[in-house]
Amino acid sequence: MIPRYSRPEMTAIWSPETKFRIWFEIEAHALDAMAEIGVVPKEAAVTVWEKGGAATFDIDRIDEIERTTKHDVIAFLTHLAEIVGEDARFVHQGMTSSDVLDTCFNVQLVRAADLLIADVDALLAALKRRAFEHKDTVTIGRSHGIHAEPVTFGVKLAQAYAEFDRCRARLVAARAEVATCAISGAVGSFANIDPRVEEHVAEKLGLVPEPVSTQVIPRDRHAMYFATLGVVASSIERLATEIRHLQRTEVLEAEEYFSPGQKGSSAMPHKRNPVLTENLTGLARLVRGMALPAMENVALWHERDISHSSVERMIGPDATVTLDFALVRLTGVIDKLLVYPQNMKKNLDRLGGLVHSQRVLLALTQKGVSREDAYRLVQRNAMRVWEQGADFLAELKGDPDVTAALTDAELEEKFDLGYHTKHVDTIFRRVFGTA
Amino acid sequence: MIPRYSRPEMTAIWSPETKFRIWFEIEAHALDAMAEIGVVPKEAAVTVWEKGGAATFDIDRIDEIERTTKHDVIAFLTHLAEIVGEDARFVHQGMTSSDVLDTCFNVQLVRAADLLIADVDALLAALKRRAFEHKDTVTIGRSHGIHAEPVTFGVKLAQAYAEFDRCRARLVAARAEVATCAISGAVGSFANIDPRVEEHVAEKLGLVPEPVSTQVIPRDRHAMYFATLGVVASSIERLATEIRHLQRTEVLEAEEYFSPGQKGSSAMPHKRNPVLTENLTGLARLVRGMALPAMENVALWHERDISHSSVERMIGPDATVTLDFALVRLTGVIDKLLVYPQNMKKNLDRLGGLVHSQRVLLALTQKGVSREDAYRLVQRNAMRVWEQGADFLAELKGDPDVTAALTDAELEEKFDLGYHTKHVDTIFRRVFGTA
Amino acid sequence: MIPRYSRPEMTAIWSPETKFRIWFEIEAHALDAMAEIGVVPKEAAVTVWEKGGAATFDIDRIDEIERTTKHDVIAFLTHLAEIVGEDARFVHQGMTSSDVLDTCFNVQLVRAADLLIADVDALLAALKRRAFEHKDTVTIGRSHGIHAEPVTFGVKLAQAYAEFDRCRARLVAARAEVATCAISGAVGSFANIDPRVEEHVAEKLGLVPEPVSTQVIPRDRHAMYFATLGVVASSIERLATEIRHLQRTEVLEAEEYFSPGQKGSSAMPHKRNPVLTENLTGLARLVRGMALPAMENVALWHERDISHSSVERMIGPDATVTLDFALVRLTGVIDKLLVYPQNMKKNLDRLGGLVHSQRVLLALTQKGVSREDAYRLVQRNAMRVWEQGADFLAELKGDPDVTAALTDAELEEKFDLGYHTKHVDTIFRRVFGTA
Amino acid sequence: MIPRYSRPEMTAIWSPETKFRIWFEIEAHALDAMAEIGVVPKEAAVTVWEKGGAATFDIDRIDEIERTTKHDVIAFLTHLAEIVGEDARFVHQGMTSSDVLDTCFNVQLVRAADLLIADVDALLAALKRRAFEHKDTVTIGRSHGIHAEPVTFGVKLAQAYAEFDRCRARLVAARAEVATCAISGAVGSFANIDPRVEEHVAEKLGLVPEPVSTQVIPRDRHAMYFATLGVVASSIERLATEIRHLQRTEVLEAEEYFSPGQKGSSAMPHKRNPVLTENLTGLARLVRGMALPAMENVALWHERDISHSSVERMIGPDATVTLDFALVRLTGVIDKLLVYPQNMKKNLDRLGGLVHSQRVLLALTQKGVSREDAYRLVQRNAMRVWEQGADFLAELKGDPDVTAALTDAELEEKFDLGYHTKHVDTIFRRVFGTA
């Protein structure tokens, strides 16, 4: 988590202040439930809410205590006792540190998921706007980096929209994975804590009780969460890579917005580089790499060990902060993307009409030429265009084996661009519900 | 995919025979739809179904053709033409290889998911049976590998049940991710193929049409699929690790079934090793490692490149076959697991009663001792037990600071095992809906 | 390990036949040493070499025995006894299965490394040949996919040569990592086997004795081996990606060789796709992904567990076979690469001279213009060229702030291509020792 | 990089202060070389060293400038110009940002490697000391977590020593991988910078010139560096896992030092948990996970793209800081490890003598019993001990098939522990050069 790739909205979730506030709320809600059940005095709960609720926790003081106890939750509870006074002794009764730590971690992950979902929503909005703007902007579709057949730039963006719409659904599912609460005491047996306490805390925090926590919330949930972030990051990489390709000097069909005063290169003043999308490519690698340690965290020993903790202290903030930053950056790129329809047209014409080869192939077979022969006929003309830069239509017209099957007019009809875009509306309706 | 870790049910999905059969069905269903629309003769579709449906595709012949064409789908279509005759020229019209390959791959992944879900169902059944069998078998719960407080062996298995129940839901979601069909032609524009063809094929194959395929089905779907397999594998590792721990010589609370005639070691005839669960641990590493290349596959160039293909040729079979084998093996381990309640009892008694330390701590605080003091009192007696093997209850009774707050009878009451298992029913109801 | 991406030279190393032959040699060499020391009769060793050396091991029979014993080495030894007769009882005395398995695995990995090193040598030869062929073929250097300044195509290949030369050194180091032998008996204590046996076997097999084997050879060695393969694979991906970029329709500076009869697309006959380098990109992902499980294999429990075994049964063959195939494929691509110097020239001229912007910048500062001002001056002219397609030299000549510092002749001199290639010889001498 | 898992020695390498100081030195050394060659005035170099060398760079000011220029090196150079004055215009001439950034990154990685190597040296010293201390402390060797045959605790530590000695060699190799310098200008062509400048800067910084830098130093070097850290981390995990196992309640052969005032659990005062080694297990996962993005960084586009940068900004500090912390923590654990030889003895006796089963097996075969029969005889007695807790020696003495071959005295001789430790000196001499 480095400032350069962080947004305050997300980093705030991971601040010590937020963490201790959530810890306090968990403890105080639990105390409420205990008071309700009758195992602690109701006044104690009131006092804790009043004094703790009003207090600002002193992070340095907590750190100081932790240096002696070597235990963060005990350090916090000690500090809380300094604030609350004698009633603090009722706090945390029958609970274990993991009840606080794991529930807090899940609260943070849920909040992070909410932010990520909102990020995706903003990205979807930008994609939709630009998709409709360029719904009919014809451009060449490329397979293997080689010109294939025409599509529209709007369809490219509709594809990205559909992909991030799936990512949204995945994030919603990932959020649900970790939206659980455990207040079950040592080894999760509820020996010293009534299950009703867990139910109360869960409800107050917008979570559901973990069916079987074994002191810890099982880490398959978190593995799924971070694996999902890795997939979302990979989708970011896909769109970023598309833009990097489009901005290549030889292609230049689209370009990241270049702000006045920006310098592309300290040495070469002419440069306008797709640095944002390159950056996104790297950030995707980072987020993806964090899925692995999260999966290795699942196999804790027996009821629990603490090996997951150091992993989560790092990837918890790092993966969410980085992905949040990346989504927002990508939204900005899409929002302000410079699009060059004329260059798209110019590139489209570059292959001398070869992009229409399939239509000619089909036309030949429809005239009764065998598929094998038709393929051979088209390919031999195509290869001349490819190698000598000839005009495909002219070559076809000059090939007697072709003209034996197709008239000039029939051939010309096969070179109509509109033919390729006639189903754009179909695709848009599928993706956006409307065209 | 190596025979040792493969089951025929899953390998069959990935055989060339299955693949070509699915290819044929895709082409033939597509032809039906084209005939229905009127772009090809209905008789052609009838002929293709009749001759192709009856034929056994000659894999060697297809390979032979591919050595010339260097293109697998063209090789298949050429072979199909050898079988079907002249009407074969209507097959594949307006389609591209990816329409066949990607739809087929998804059909295979869906079938694989169905098998994996059935595997998990069998595992769940075994876990449930053994969980109820040992619902009240008391055993020590361990955190950090250190005795903590008592649980029951049934609760351990209930935890595993809940975890694999989540895995089941994840597999169902992963299946839905890849249950899509693309018959959209070059760059996915439907220029030469009517979208109704795709709808028909999808319906016949139990899939839904891919909203925007760009010649390929987008690989974020597959990334999610393989990431999910990685998470399931990690849950397998967790349960396998638990059993490996329980079988340790010093623990020996449970043991993999050891068949007559089996040799644990060529050198040491006394050995009975948890080789199945160790094997599962390794298999989990393999499946997990395949999630990464699947995520790297997402960022294809423009409308598509073919870099994903070699990855999927390997991890498609390898991840599903390995996970299937692992799930079935784990089910067998659970089903036949030798459980030693007496050893559980013996181990439980090993710490001289220290496992009851929390109850004493809580009792002291309830008598008005501050939490800090109570902790100190309990810890100083506990450390003597830990270091000198003393009896915890006796130590407590001999500590005047303790007895100032708690009578001998009160102390003795804190050493009741039933106290720890009183919520087992609660947990079972949460997991199984019944206790 | 799938046939499509395998070469027989490497798969042979991993065949059952090879494995059992190595097992036999390990056992027989060990027997020689035992005979020499005097713990077994010399005649027994002679008999074993004679009968076992002449025999073809019956793999089906060994599999059959293993189905009973569930132990592969015992199955082999039983089969060996069937061949050798009574003297077989001296074989394997004091040894444990891992002595055979681990030493054999290392022999296989060493042989695989030798093949990979030979592959890299062939690749280096191809790269060197093509590098010298195109030492002076000027092409545009690109940063961020954007034209930067001129280089030569030979320098591009020299870079790849230097990179694979490093990969060669890494493979040599990786080979040394695993070139060890363990014949140390149960838990590696040499209790029942004299260390001189290990020394003898090591020497005969071209290995060195493992300093401390704990029944197994420590897996940090193998982790390093497979991590190295992952790095080599990543270098393959880099060169493959370069070629994919160069073959893009809009760039077309180089192209994979396209054989007669090859079909680029079943639907679009005009296509010539960089399918080999795309394939290499995918293969790189696979090999890279195998480094992780290899690293997870390191932390075996105590003296050993068997969790590494299933991992290695898969990645041992898969990683080496795939990398071998990839290196040979890449060598073929480089060897036959179609290079288009004229297209390189055409692309170079595309930016209207902008690639010379740095020289102008430096010239201005050398004339006393501050760096800040010079940058601004160059950038404002460059942006016009970028946006309006103007000629950079003409723009500069028309900018009075520029011409105040530089004459037309001075400006023109800055547009000389030779200026950029004057150190090609320096680079070649560094890489190849000669220019 | 979080404070909890960081040491100031390593974080200092990655501070902005250190970074800008290295940047300055690169620029100033380069200027010296340019002055020597005669392309800039010697006085300028003197001035830059004097003013820049004395200055403290104002990080806030540099950040402020970067917010406009969006380019960190230009921001630094602008700030340097504010300090140095007019002569600053000679700085960075003909260079590109990557010359500064990549060379600086390598300087940082080299310094980090030096620290890691020193860390390993300290760990080796601790391992050696404890290994000799416990050279003859007999303990049970375990395979599969099951008692196998005796070893000594010193041999366990000797194994770890040998493993970290290999890690040291790997770190030295990794250091050499990245100890290169690039001052080669845009696309690495040396068009505007004399190669002698690079040679001078390299020499001054203790690096060697990169043979072919293409504006960037090739990232296969860094991939190898981070992969190596991942392997070292995995070795840490192995030793940490060993200690976690030894500290298990049922085993308790060794224990992490437990400081006065430390609390093992907020709920269970009796707990002494192996939290440091559990923490190391998690840290290992983190470092390992960073190898993947580093490998993905290799395949930059053409001469360079900037996608590696965000990855390295994170994993550069994170991997080195985490590994440094882990190595130092592990050294502390080893140094202060509480070792319980009496518990080792007690555990060793637990299996009723079964650990001697192999010796009996061998003795039987040496008396002419076939290996198959001998195995069967030993196993049937061993299984009774295993299942009924009988005494192995007594069982054997009572088995007439056994006593037909071996006398009681011969059997008893096979139960001598010294037999298993007779080669400890051999192993120590191999590892430490001395016993």
Q: CATH top-level class for D354-414?
A: mainly alpha
Domain with CATH 1.10.40.30 in chain D: 354-414
Contact C212 D420 (CB under 8 A): no
Residue of D nearest to C281 (CA): D299
Nearest by CB: D230 against C163, C227, C423 = C227
Per the CATH hierarchy, to which homologous superfamily does domain B1-93 belong?
Answer: Fumarase/aspartase (N-terminal domain) (1.10.275.10)
Domain with CATH 1.20.200.10 in chain A: 96-257+269-351
Residue of C nearest to A292 (CA): C292
Q: What is the mean pLDDT of residues C234-260?
A: 94
Per the CATH hierarchy, to which homologous superfamily does domain D95-345 belong?
Answer: Fumarase/aspartase (Central domain) (1.20.200.10)
Q: Do strands B208-209 and B254-255 pair parallel, antiparallel, or not at all (unpaired)?
A: unpaired
Whether the pLDDT of residue B266 is over 80: the answer is: no
CA quadruple A80, A81, A85, A89: dihedral sign: positive
Q: What is the mean pLDDT of residues C351-376?
A: 87
B144 in active site: yes
Chain D contact present for C169, CB below 8 A: no
DSSP string, D60-110: HHHHHHHHHH--HHHHHHHHHHHHH-GGGGGTTTT--HHHHHHHHHHHHHH
Whether the pLDDT of residue D33 is over 80: the answer is: yes
Look at A82 and B383; give whichever has higher pLDDT: A82
Chain D contact present for A125, CB below 8 A: no
Chain B contact present for C187, CB below 8 A: no
Q: In chain A, pLDDT over 90 holds for what percent of residues?
A: 85
A289, A368, D183 from B65: Cα distances, Å: 41, 23, 54
CA distance B122 to C395: 76
Whether the pLDDT of residue D68 is over 90: the answer is: no
**pLDDT tens readout for residues A123-150:** 999 999 999 999 999 999 999 999 999 9
CA distance C154 to C158: 6
Band of residue B269 on the pLDDT scale cut at 50, 70, 90: low
Fold classification of C6-93 (topology level) = Fumarase C; Chain B, domain 1 (1.10.275)
Interface test with D, best of C139, C175, C224 (most D CBs within 10 A): C224
Domain with CATH 1.10.275.10 in chain C: 6-93
Band of residue B81 on the pLDDT scale cut at 50, 70, 90: very high
Q: In chain B, pLDDT over 90 holds for what percent of residues?
A: 85
Band of residue A266 on the pLDDT scale cut at 50, 70, 90: low
CA quadruple B351, B353, B356, B362: dihedral sign: negative
Chain C contact present for B379, CB below 8 A: no
Whether the pLDDT of residue A264 is over 70: the answer is: no
Which range has the worst mean pLDDT, C3-12, C37-46, C215-224, D360-369? Answer: D360-369
Determine the pLDDT at residue B216: 97
D179 CB-near residues (< 8 Å, 6+ apart): D106, D110, D206, D207, D208
Determine the pLDDT at residue A271: 73
What CA dihedral angle connects D313, D314, D315 and D320, to 10 degrees? Answer: 90
Residue in C15, C189, C265, C310 annotated catalytic = C265
Second CATH level (architecture) for the domain C96-345: Up-down Bundle (1.20)
Which two tokens mark D406?
């071996």
Q: Which residues pair with A143 in a beta bridge?
A: A146, B304
Contact A192 B296 (CB under 8 A): no
Nearest by CB: B357 against D245, D270, D275 = D270
CATH entry, A96-257+269-351, from 3.40.1210.10, 1.10.760.10, 1.10.3720.10, 1.20.200.10: 1.20.200.10
Which two tokens mark D35?
């002055």
Interface test with A, best of D6, D307, D323 (most A CBs within 10 A): D307
Q: Are A73 and D264 in contact (CB under 8 A)?
A: no
Q: Are B291 and A295 in contact (CB under 8 A)?
A: yes
Whether the pLDDT of residue A244 is over 80: the answer is: yes
Determine the pLDDT at residue B271: 73
A248, C395, D226 from C384: Cα distances, Å: 18, 8, 43
Whether the pLDDT of residue C266 is over 70: the answer is: no
Q: In chain C, pLDDT over 70 holds for what percent of residues?
A: 97
Band of residue C325 on the pLDDT scale cut at 50, 70, 90: very high
Q: What is the mean pLDDT of residues A9-21?
A: 97
Residues C152-162: b if buried by 16+ CB within 10 A, e if exposed: bbbbbbbbbbb
Determine the pLDDT at residue C249: 93
Determine the pLDDT at residue B351: 81
Q: Which residues pair with B255 in a beta bridge?
A: B338
Nearest by CB: A145 against C140, C247, C392 = C247
Which A-chain residues 258-287 have CB contacts (< 8 A) with chain D? 259, 261-263, 265-268, 273, 275, 278-279, 281-283, 285-286
The Cα of B370 is separated from the nearest Cα of chain C by a number of Å equal to: 43
Fold classification of B96-350+424-435 (topology level) = Fumarase C; Chain A, domain 2 (1.20.200)
CA distance D311 to A286: 6
What's the CA angle centered on D134, arms D136 and C179, to 5 degrees?
85
Q: Tell me which chain C residues have a C-beta less than 8 angstroms from the C-beta of B275.
A: 306
Q: Are D241 and D235 in contact (CB under 8 A)?
A: no
Residue of C nearest to A378 (CA): C269
Domain with CATH 1.20.200.10 in chain C: 96-345
Q: At B191, phi and psi to the nearest 5?
A: -60, -40
A265 in active site: yes
**pLDDT tens readout for residues B158-174:** 999 999 999 999 999 99
Determine the pLDDT at residue A241: 98
Contact B263 C69 (CB under 8 A): yes
Whether the pLDDT of residue C264 is over 70: the answer is: no
Q: What is the mean pLDDT of residues A341-346?
A: 95
Question: What is the reported pTM?
Answer: 0.95
Contact B270 D361 (CB under 8 A): no
Interface test with B, best of A76, A187, A296, A426 (most B CBs within 10 A): A187
Whether the pLDDT of residue D272 is over 90: the answer is: no
